[in-house]
Amino acid sequence: MSEYAFFEATRIFKRAVPLMVKYKVPTTPHYFSLWYTYCAGTHPELNRAIDDTVAKFGLCSREKCDGLIESFLIGDSKKELDNFRQKVENMVADLGNSMDATVSDTEEFQDILSSSVTKLEDVQNKASSGADNQLVIHELLQGSQHLLSATSQYRLQVTTQKAEIDALKKKLEEYKTQATNDALTGCLNRRAFDKQMADYDAENVEVSLIIVDIDHFKAFNDEYGHQMGDNVLKLVANKLEQSMNDFASVYRFGGEEFAALVPRVSFNNAWKIAEKARTTLERLSVTDKRTGKKINSITASFGVASRFGGEEMGELLARADEALYDAKGKGRNCVMPKSR
């Protein structure tokens, strides 16, 4: 495990266990997997379901935890994956059977052709009658027709299965997208962030990290509801991607937090990129369709840190976190850098 991965796992662990104790969840590995995922922020629908549960009951019983695990960590994704695997296995089996049949027919025709050539040679050597020639030609024609029929069927089978393969490839691409993209906002997710951080670490890339936290989001969410909150998250994600598209990749970091990785730029340039994104966000407005009320300012706090040669990724993340909290302490809606 890399230093960064260890840092992240420890960070999430420190959040998960106190929450389990608070909501009276048995601290077993079975339930820990649920709360670790919750604290990692990689499954927004799961987080919402847990938030709704604890808001309603003040705790999360064994039964509720079991239901959440079944619904979000096992449920449909496992069924879809099993179904996908079964389709591939069936298709390969069918294709193999078709190929075996065609090979068998081809070998049979090769035998017919070989035998017919021998007979033709005999006919030529012995100057046999026209009737002998006609018999050989008839056998060749029958063999050719049989092979033509077999290959036609095989072509139809392959054409049909090619369509199935294309559909399965499309589905596989969807699975890949689901694995790396946040379902709500469409931007890259925490899993993709962790992988990119690990790649930069392995390649010793000098990279800047920008962490973004939407200001007063919880109060906003409580006042206007989850649907309005979701609209804000999608809007912020879209604007961050637009403003950083030429420089950085944007990730849903968890909850109302986003992150951007900016490789191979100076610390000052990373700061400027964050400031541009901040001013873009504060000009946003969103309308509550239920009431018609317009919210004219959506702001966010930004923390910026840059990796120095050979520095562990965990240190970079910790420093960017500190910068973000400094920004909140300064009154929010600002960019705070954190150098070494």
Question: How many CA atoms are closer than 13 Å to the CA of 131, on its beta-carbon side?
Answer: 0
71-87 pLDDT per residue, tens: 777 655 555 555 656 66
User: Residue 232 is part of a domain; what is its CATH number?
Assistant: 3.30.70.270
Pick the more confident residue, 134 or 22: 22
* Packing angle of the helix pair 313-329, 3-22 (nearest 10 deg): 50
Residue 66 in any domain: the answer is no
3-state SS assignment for residue 187 = coil
Helices (H), ranges, 23-61: 29-40, 44-57
Both 300 and 164 in a single domain? no
The dihedral built from the CA positions of residue 244, 246, 248 and 251, taken in this order, carries a sign that is: positive
Both 171 and 248 in a single domain? no
d(CA 107, CA 100): 10
Identify the pLDDT of residue 239.
Answer: 94
Both 224 and 295 in a single domain? yes
Residue 285 in any domain: the answer is yes
Pick from 193, 340, 196, 197: which is nearest to 267 by CA? Answer: 340
* Packing angle of the helix pair 190-203, 130-180 (nearest 10 deg): 90
**Contact status, residue 287 vs residue 293, Cβ threshold 8 Å:** yes
Both 274 and 136 in a single domain? no
d(CA 304, CA 244): 14
What's the Rg (C-alpha) of the chain?
32
| % of the chain at pLDDT higher than 90 | 26
Identify the pLDDT of residue 29.
Answer: 74
Q: What is the mean pLDDT of residues 160-184?
A: 69
**Contact status, residue 196 vs residue 2, Cβ threshold 8 Å:** no
For 176, the domain range is 78-180
Instruction: Among 34, 60, 86, identify where a domain stops.
Output: 60
Both 209 and 318 in a single domain? yes
Task: Specify the DSSP class assigned to residue 307.
Answer: P
24-52 pLDDT per residue, tens: 888 777 788 888 888 888 788 889 899 98
> How many degrees, rounded to 5, is the angle at CA 21 between CA 20 and CA 27?
60
Q: What is the mean pLDDT of residues 140-165?
A: 63
Burial of 20 (0-12, 13-18, 19+ CB in 10 A): buried
Residue 12 in any domain: the answer is yes
Both 265 and 138 in a single domain? no
Query: What is the number of domains present in the chain?
Result: 3
Residue 32 in any domain: the answer is yes
Residues forming the active site = 256
d(CA 300, CA 280): 10
Identify the pLDDT of residue 301.
Answer: 96
Both 261 and 300 in a single domain? yes
The encoded tokens of residue 316 equal 């970079």
As a whole number, the mean pLDDT across the chain is 79
d(CA 150, CA 113): 16
15: confidence class by pLDDT, cuts 50, 70, 90: confident
Both 55 and 97 in a single domain? no
Both 236 and 130 in a single domain? no
- Buried b vs exposed e over 260-277: b needs ≥16 C-beta within 10 Å? bbbbebebeebbebbeeb
Residue 92 in any domain: the answer is yes
Q: What is the mean pLDDT of residues 275-288?
A: 88
Identify the pLDDT of residue 254.
Answer: 82
Pick the more confident residue, 264 or 153: 264
143: confidence class by pLDDT, cuts 50, 70, 90: low
Instruction: Among 159, 180, 201, identify where a domain stops.
Output: 180
Pick from 49, 18, 39, 110: which is nearest to 257 by CA? Answer: 39
Residue 97 in any domain: the answer is yes
- Look at residue 212 and tell me whether its pLDDT is greater than 70: yes
Residue 84 in any domain: the answer is yes
88-117 pLDDT per residue, tens: 656 656 655 655 555 555 556 555 655 655
Residue 73 in any domain: the answer is no
Both 208 and 281 in a single domain? yes
Q: What is the dihedral of CA 198, 203, 208, 213, to 10 degrees?
A: -10
Instruction: Among 180, 210, 229, identify where a domain stops.
Output: 180
Both 23 and 159 in a single domain? no
The encoded tokens of residue 260 equal 């951007």
Identify the pLDDT of residue 113.
Answer: 55
Both 85 and 112 in a single domain? yes
- Look at residue 152 and tell me whether its pLDDT is greater than 80: no
218-263 pLDDT per residue, tens: 887 888 888 888 889 999 999 999 999 888 999 998 889 999 999 9
- Look at residue 2 and tell me whether its pLDDT is greater than 80: no
d(CA 165, CA 187): 28
